[in-house]
């Protein structure tokens, strides 16, 4: 059977009916890649996987939620959607709105979204409202706007978003045969960690997994409200996807963290970028900076023994590295670029000098 997206696949666990028109781009069904080289170097016996959500149609896990949110918006007769976004939500909203034939308005922090995401929002034809403020400022306005304009909010406060996103946990259980011991995610609004817990809990309840994972949430130090224990007024990090100071799923995330015996921790931008680079160089997997936070966290806690040897660990790589080419290039060694004349001699020399 042709794969036609996660709503079709998980129809019986999602709030759709026979007559619902499904707005899909074939999202979901992403690879679960077992890391080989990094665990070997670490010298620890762990089964470490990355769920490569960057391979969704618009390059991030947001597509899982957006297929549901836009499907339900269209079902309810909505002709326009709106979101506040650090970038990926706007890319997904723009694409799914185009597919549905409705309008998308995206509210983004001026100058603070990665180039690839901006390109997506623009090329899909959404109306971009740039604000001189951050994501949290945009979110505050978007939450009130539906009282003033005929638009459906498709941020993760829209419960259909989390319904779609929970399917990532279903896929992992189906692939591993049960839930992993630990699941690690980067945390911004904390919608995705909440959705994963929902998915794991549902599959546990119906007997598809005999266990549930310990949930680990990792943030950037400059945007770490869960570590601080309160809102952060001026969040700052190079990992723009998690540059959020006032998480919308705060209560749910605290609750699930406690329930699963999990924890939160934070990393510097330097550590996040080093992990992003390590994944590309040692495993061939290119994720965006925010995504690498999940692996930075898992690796540190494996090293510390907080995650014991013998464990299985899944890290969500939330978005594709191509989303943010500027940050990728900026951290590469420019001397790896060799300029030569177009002669056999010079190309040969370049190779032999660098073997």
Q: Is 254 helix (H, G, I), strand (E, B) or coil?
A: helix
CB closer to ligand PLP, 28 vs 319: 319
Segment near ligand PLP (CB under 6 A); pick from 25-33, 36-44, 134-142, 283-291: 283-291
Q: How far apart are CA 101 and CA 88, in angstroms?
A: 20
Residue 320's closest CA among 124, 121, 115?
115
* 321 touches ligand PLP by CB under 6 A: no
Q: Whose CB is nearest to ligand PLP?
A: 319
DSSP strands (E only) in the chain: 32-34, 47-52, 80-84, 103-109, 127-131, 152-153, 182-186, 214-220, 263-267, 312-317
Q: How far apart are CA 287 and CA 275, in angstroms?
A: 10
Total interface residues for ligand PLP by CB under 6 A? 18
Bridge partners of 320?
287
* 88 touches ligand PLP by CB under 6 A: yes
x/- letters, 196..235, toward ligand PLP (CB under 6 A): ----------------------------------------
Whether the CB-CB separation of 161 and 154 falls below 8 Å is answered with yes
Whether the CB-CB separation of 80 and 53 falls below 8 Å is answered with no
* 241 touches ligand PLP by CB under 6 A: yes
* 242 touches ligand PLP by CB under 6 A: yes
x/- letters, 98..137, toward ligand PLP (CB under 6 A): ----------------------------------------
Integer angstrom CA distances of residue 131 from 62, 107, 154, 303, 326: 22, 7, 18, 42, 22
* 192 touches ligand PLP by CB under 6 A: yes
Segment near ligand PLP (CB under 6 A); pick from 4-12, 67-75, 186-194, 338-346: 186-194
CB closer to ligand PLP, 44 vs 245: 245
- Report the residue count for the chain: 355
* 319 touches ligand PLP by CB under 6 A: yes
CB closer to ligand PLP, 44 vs 240: 240
Residues 154-183 that bind ligand PLP (CB under 6 A): 156
């Amino acid at each position: 059977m042709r794969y036609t997206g996660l709503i079709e696949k998980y129809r019986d666990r999602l709030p759709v009916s026979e007559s619902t028109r499904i707005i899909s781009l074939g999202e979901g069904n992403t690879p679960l890649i077992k890391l080989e080289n990094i665990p070997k170097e670490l010298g620890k016996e762990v089964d470490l996987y990355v769920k490569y959500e960057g391979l969704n149609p618009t390059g991030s896990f947001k597509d899982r939620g957006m297929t549901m949110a836009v499907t339900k918006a269209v079902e309810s007769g909505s002709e326009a959607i709106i979101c506040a976004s650090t970038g990926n939500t706007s890319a997904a909203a723009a694409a799914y709105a185009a597919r549905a034939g409705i309008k998308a308005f995206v509210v983004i922090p001026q100058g603070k979204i990665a180039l690839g995401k901006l390109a997506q929002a623009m090329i899909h034809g959404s109306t971009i409202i740039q604000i001189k403020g951050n994501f949290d400022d945009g979110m505050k306005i978007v939450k009130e706007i539906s009282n003033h304009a005929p638009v459906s909010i498709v941020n993760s406060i829209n419960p259909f978003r989390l319904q779609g996103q929970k399917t990532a946990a279903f896929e992992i259980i189906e692939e591993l045969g049960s839930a992993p011991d630990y699941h690690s995610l980067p945390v911004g609004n904390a919608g995705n960690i909440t959705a994963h817990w929902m998915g794991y809990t549902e599959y546990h309840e119906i007997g598809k997994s005999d266990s549930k994972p310990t949930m680990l949430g990792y943030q950037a130090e400059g945007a770490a409200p869960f570590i601080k224990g309160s809102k952060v007024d001026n969040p700052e990090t190079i990992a723009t996807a998690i540059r959020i100071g006032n998480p919308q799923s705060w209560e749910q995330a605290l609750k699930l963290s406690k329930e699963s015996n999990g924890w939160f921790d934070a990393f510097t931008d330097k550590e996040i970028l080093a992990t992003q680079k390590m994944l590309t160089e040692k495993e061939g997997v290119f994720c965006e900076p925010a995504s690498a936070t999940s692996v930075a966290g898992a690796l540190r806690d494996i090293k510390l023994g907080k995650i014991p040897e013998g464990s299985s660990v899944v890290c969500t790589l939330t978005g594709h590295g191509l989303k943010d080419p500027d940050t990728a290039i900026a951290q590469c060694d420019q001397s790896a670029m060799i300029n030569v004349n177009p002669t056999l001699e010079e190309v040969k020399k370049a190779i032999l000098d660098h073997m």
